[in-house]
Amino acid sequence: MRHLIRLLQRVAILALGAFAVWLIVFVIFRFAHQKLPLILAFSATYLAAAYVILPYAVRMGLKIQHRKHVPRYTITGDGLPGDPVNLALVGDLAQLRAAFAAAGWSGADPLDLKSSWGMVRAFVFNRPYPTAPFSPLYLFGRSLDMGFQQAIGDSPRKRHHVRFWAKSLAETQAEVTSSRFWLNKDRPDENERVIWLGAATRDTGFSLTRMTFQITHATDSDTNAERTYIIGALAACGTIGDTMLYKAGQHLPVNHYVTDGDVALAELTPT
């Protein structure tokens, strides 16, 4: 029975993909081509496909697969898998900021029209932007609580960066692998000593997303290496204690990333 259900799921996903392609090519593009010049028709079709049709098809595909497991990765604004969770630091907000400041990392500007335009200009003209904003990713039903980055050279296209979400230490008394821990949306007080769950990746340039072809930063697929880099940088400054790895979940090929599912856990030292 399990094999039959899996087969039916794959057939349904294949049919969903075929329908999405048909809709893009034979409905959206054909209609746009009748109304617009060719280049504008291609542009309109791309926008509709990458930002509406394909994200919806991927979300439906995930529902067909019954992927209701406890999330071990962030979620994009479209509801698609984002960066894997691979780092956890215990301490208050002042300790977190002091730790990354000591390592030479910068905070991220809030994402708004001004910072977005600044990022576009920096990206196009390859000019430094050490406090560039982060695109929104979600965990616990909310966008990041704090983010840090470190430029690689003078290019805004390459950087180390990590997003953090605060989680009350009281919640960690519950089983971490349970839905109660991961799906509780309560935000702790900013002065509270909490566990900061982080998703760390390294930007390497410019690309299109794997599943929906949206414009985004290209990222190094090896998130384990980025986790190791950050822990090494903080340890070298003496801002964290001993580090241990614990298994947050099964091995997950999240998006285009390769991750072993481990989370590096360390205590922040007093400022």
Segment 93-110 mean pLDDT: 92
Taking phi first (over 0 means left), then psi (-120 to 50 degrees means alpha), and beta for anything else, what does residue 223 get?
A: alpha
DSSP string, 14-45: HHHHHHHHHIIIIIIIHHHHHHS-HHHHHHHH
Segment 72-88 mean pLDDT: 79
**pLDDT reported for residue 150:** 93
**pLDDT reported for residue 238:** 93
Segment 193-215 mean pLDDT: 74
- pLDDT, one tens digit per residue, over 25-39 is 888 888 888 888 889
- pLDDT, one tens digit per residue, over 91-100 is 999 999 999 9
DSSP string, the chain: -HHHHHHHHHHHHHHHHHHHHHIIIIIIIHHHHHHS-HHHHHHHHHHHIIIIIHHHHHHHHHHHTT--SPP-EEEETTS-EEEEP-EEEEE-HHHHHHHHHHTT-EE----SHHHHHHHHHHHHHT---TTPPPPPEEETTEE-SEEEEEEETTEEEEEEEEEEEEEETTGGGS-TTSHHHHH--PPPPTTS-EEEEEEEEEEEEEEE-TTT--EEEEE-SBHHHHHHHHHHHHHHTT-EEEEEEEE-SS-B--TT-BB--EEEEEEEPP-
DSSP-assigned letter for residue 248: -
Share of the chain above pLDDT 90, in %: 18
100 vs 82, which has greater pLDDT? 100
Sign of CA dihedral 237, 239, 242, 244: negative
Q: Phi first, then psi: give them for residue 92, nearest 5 degrees.
A: -95, 180
1 vs 99, which has greater pLDDT? 99
150 - beta bridge partners?
160
**pLDDT reported for residue 250:** 44
**pLDDT reported for residue 65:** 58
* Domain range annotation of the chain: 2-64, 73-268
**pLDDT reported for residue 105:** 94
Does the pLDDT at position 205 exceed 60?
yes
62 vs 246, which has greater pLDDT? 246
**pLDDT reported for residue 69:** 42
Does the pLDDT at position 252 exceed 50?
no
Give the integer Cα–Cα distance in Å for 8 and 5. 5
139 - beta bridge partners?
142
First to last CA, the chain: 58
Residue-averaged pLDDT of the chain:
79
Does the pLDDT at position 123 exceed 50?
yes
Residue 202 and residue 70 in contact, taking contact as beta carbons nearer than 8 Å: no
**pLDDT reported for residue 91:** 92
Does the pLDDT at position 228 exceed 70?
yes
Does the pLDDT at position 254 exceed 50?
no
**pLDDT reported for residue 239:** 92
- pLDDT, one tens digit per residue, over 159-192 is 899 999 998 877 655 555 555 666 677 788 878 8
**pLDDT reported for residue 186:** 78
- pLDDT, one tens digit per residue, over 12-68 is 878 888 888 898 888 888 888 888 888 988 888 888 887 778 777 776 766 665 444
